[in-house]
Structure 1
């Protein structure tokens, strides 16, 4: 079941944090970079975030989520995480479809590591293209993927 999350509530923020730490730890191993800011985020940072969080629940447990910031006709995906036990089961795709169906006529973009091929492949499968490459201050290569969402 997909629902919007109330990240300002302590227990919800705690669940978001636990899920993203598990998911981003797996990503950190994959890309060989443990400087992912979300790994060191706090419950209070999530509670005060202005992002919109949408979660995917399985048997009452938060197993995946997508978060974004939306301004007029531009939307940035800020988080897309899946519990490692649920990788490759379509949860990220379900959340992407949800997002695309609810934000038509919008430029949607996301940043990810150039080394995170599973994430890049997911974005490609939804018609995203790499629009820019850049390096973080530590030299880690990143990409920006975007697509104009006129239909899902």
Structure 2
């Protein structure tokens, strides 16, 4: 069983460790290991934590954090970011649960997120959940980001 609850400051190191593990596949897809999720420090995450809501997915049997998502609200817009699931726990609906829970935490907002144009699995999930692409941005010579909204 997976339980999704709000993360606390004492969870940040575990969230960051999971983030660096989960984003390895994204880095490989884009052949770029300098993407922000891989270079973020605990100090940076601790500062970010002051202005975002982080939900964590916990596996009941082990009490391990196996997923997380961030939401940053501003003017009735919610920027959703760093949706992560432990590689061994992927394809079990945890990402979808996290996405739906962060939306439910901020009902009635306009939701926005982004992913690499090479992340076909992510794009598929987001589009199945009602997100639609609205712009592209070149992050680096290797990485193009697609922004989606709902």
TM-score, normalized by length of structure 2?
Answer: 0.90
Per the TM alignment, residue 137 of structure 1 is displaced from its structure 2 partner at its CA by 3.8
Aligned residue number for residue 36 of structure 1: 35
2:30–2:143 CA contact under 8 A, matched in 1: no
SS at match of 1:96: helix
Q: Deviations over 1:95-123 (max 9, x none)?
A: 11212223222110011100111111110
Aligned residue number for residue 55 of structure 2: 54
Aligned residue number for residue 131 of structure 2: 128
Aligned residue number for residue 70 of structure 1: 73
Aligned residue number for residue 98 of structure 2: 95
The structure-2 alpha-carbon separation of the partners of 1:137 and 1:31, relative to structure 1 and needing over 3 Å to count, comes to closer
- Partners of 1:43 and 1:137 lie apart in 2 by 24
Per the TM alignment, residue 74 of structure 1 is displaced from its structure 2 partner at its CA by 0.3
Relative to structure 2, which stretch is displaced further, 55-64 or 42-51? Answer: 42-51
SS at match of 1:68: strand
TM-score, normalized by length of structure 1?
Answer: 0.89
Unaligned runs of 5+ in 1: 148-152
The number of residue pairs the alignment matches comes to 144
Per the TM alignment, residue 94 of structure 1 is displaced from its structure 2 partner at its CA by 0.7
Unaligned runs of 5+ in 2: none
Supply the RMSD in Å over aligned alpha carbons. Answer: 1.3
